[in-house]
Structures are given as C-alpha cells and as structure tokens.
Amino acid sequence: MIISKDQLTTLEERYRAQLINSVSGFKSANLIGTIDNNGLTNLSIMSSVIHLGSNPPLLGMVFRPHSVPRHTLENILETGVYTINHVNNEIFQKAHQTSARYPKSISEFEACNLTPLFHETFIAPFVQESVIRIAMEYREHQTLKLNETVFLVGEILHIELPEEIVAATGYADLEVANTVCISGLDSYHKTRRLAQLPYAKPV
C-alpha cells in the first residue's frame, strides 16, 4: 500500500489524522498540569513531549494552532510553570478523558477523577496518581509558519520518582514505573524491553 502526498490531501480528515499520528511511531503519554492566576486548575493529556537537552534540562512539546482556546497553553504563558506527569496503566482511561473539551470553569482533575497534588513552593498541580512527576518552568515558544502549531520549551526544575527505579547509571526504568505510551490518537500500550545495549562506538 502506497499513499501519495496528493492522496493524503483527499483523505477524510479524521482518517488522515489517525494515519499520520500512528505512522510517526510510539509517543510518550503525559498529563500536563496547569493553573491560572485565579486558581482554576487544568489537566490535559499530551503525546508530544520530547527531550531537547540535558544541560540545561529542557523538554519541548507541540500544541495545535492557538486559533481556539487552549487552556493548557494559556495557563503556562500566564503563570510560567506547569507539570509533566507520566500516564501509567492504572490511570490511562482517566487520562484519556482529559482530552474532552471541558469548559475552562471545569477542572479535568475533578471531571476525570484524578487528584491534584500541590507543593508549597510550586503553584502548578501535579497528578498524585502518577509515579513520575516533573516540575517545569516555561522558557520560550514559537509558532511554526508551516501549520501554525506552537512549539513550547520548558526547563526541568525538579523530578519526583521512586528511588528504586533509578539505576546507578541514572537510567530511569519506565517499565518498572508502569509508564504507558500512545500510538495514533487513542491507542495505549504497555512496554516490554527487548534489551539495554551498551554505548555504541565505531567497530
């Protein structure tokens, strides 16, 4: 089966979105926790979080065009902070429900039966049910000219995770943490490690 660029443009919109989202490969599943200046919390699932660098520790994520209200993006730009919380196999169904278009006045924490976790020195809410939680500070964003999507970059302020899943090398074992991943728009997967290979050098 070969689908040309011209054929892609003629596909039904939801079919095309599912196809392009799934052929790009497995993606991370994270819940992004935010709050606005009035204290209203927001929680949304994102599959676009990517590693950008370790020194400084930067993570990026992509938002769809800001042509309609994007509560998560707006809250991040308003407060400058947010959280990234791994989705695990205990909460993936609740996490998926956060993708529904709730009005700003309704918190997805309450609507999807997830628990906000607050720290005294950090205003954005974490997800209590997540095993791995990351506090983030906004650094910059750009609107891409090609399709008006927004690429946002944040810096890690701190990481919360069980000590027992971190190896002496610094490797965090996401499989032990039961972190799940996403393919397409709505398919959730457990993982099974094939091997952990040594640092590759020319032979």
In this prediction, residue 125 carries a pLDDT of 98
4 — pLDDT class (breaks 50, 70, 90): confident
Integer Cα distance of 182 and 180 in angstroms: 7
**Mean pLDDT value of segment 112-122:** 96
| Of 43-52, 54-63, 74-83, 193-202, minimum mean pLDDT range | 193-202
Integer Cα distance of 172 and 164 in angstroms: 9
pLDDT in tens, 22-45: 888 999 999 999 999 999 999 999
Asked if residue 198 is part of any domain, the answer here is no
Asked if residue 87 is part of any domain, the answer here is yes
59 — pLDDT class (breaks 50, 70, 90): very high
pLDDT over 70 percentage in the chain: 100
Asked if residue 54 is part of any domain, the answer here is yes
Asked if residue 4 is part of any domain, the answer here is no
The per-residue b/e assignment along 99-135, b for 16 or more CB within 10 angstroms, e otherwise, is eeebeeeebbbeebebebbeeeebebbbbebbbbbbb
My answer on whether omega of the bond before 56 falls inside 30° of 0, hence cis, is yes
Write out the residue range of the structural domain in which residue 33 sits.
27-189
Domains contained in the chain, number = 1
* Average pLDDT across the chain, whole number: 94
In this prediction, residue 11 carries a pLDDT of 87
Integer Cα distance of 94 and 152 in angstroms: 25
pLDDT in tens, 123-139: 999 999 999 999 999 99
Asked if residue 119 is part of any domain, the answer here is yes
DSSP the chain: ----HHHHHHS-HHHHHHHHHHHT--EE-EEEEEE-TTS-EEEEEES--EEEEETTEEEEEEE--TTS--HHHHHHHHHSEEEEEE-BTTTHHHHHHTTS---TTS-HHHHTT--EEEETTEEEEEETT-SSEEEEEEEEEEE-TTT--EEEEEEEEEEE--GGGB-TTS-B-TTTTTB-EEETTTEEE-------PPPP---
CA dihedral 150, 156, 157, 160 (to 10 degrees): 120
Asked if residue 169 is part of any domain, the answer here is yes
In this prediction, residue 139 carries a pLDDT of 98
Integer Cα distance of 84 and 77 in angstroms: 15
- The tokens for 109 are 């924490």
**Mean pLDDT value of segment 146-156:** 96
Asked if residue 201 is part of any domain, the answer here is no
**Mean pLDDT value of segment 46-72:** 92
CATH number assigned to the domain comprising residue 100: 2.30.110.10
Asked if residue 13 is part of any domain, the answer here is no
